[in-house]
Amino acid sequence: MGREPAAVDILPEIASAEFDRAWDKRVAGVIDADDGLTAHFISVSDLVAAKIAAGRPQDLAYVAAVRRAVEDAKTAGNH
């Protein structure tokens, strides 16, 4: 829904993600700070698991990029 860079995927079911466990690990994000509007998003760990389960080349590339970003953030935090 929407257009990049503000597109949103709404998925009624995600491979490898059980709803109750994913909901417990959800992340709240501010959509509109002026209005205080927030939304819930799947956690990074659940998103990565779903991308791996999907197995498409673009999903696996996304997983690699997320893992690099996490490692870069850890490295940056150690300086």
Contact 40, 26 (CB under 8 A): yes
Model pLDDT, residue 13: 79
Number of domains in the chain: 1
Q: Is residue 37 part of a domain?
A: yes
Q: Is residue 51 part of a domain?
A: yes
Q: Domain range holding 28? A: 19-77
Peptide bond into 5 cis (omega under 30): yes
Model pLDDT, residue 1: 78
Q: Is residue 67 part of a domain?
A: yes
Q: What is the pLDDT along the chain (79 residues), one digit of tens a residue?
A: 788 877 877 877 777 778 889 899 999 999 899 999 999 988 989 989 999 998 999 999 999 999 999 899 999 877 6
Supply the pTM of this predicted model.
0.70
Model pLDDT, residue 67: 92
Model pLDDT, residue 79: 60
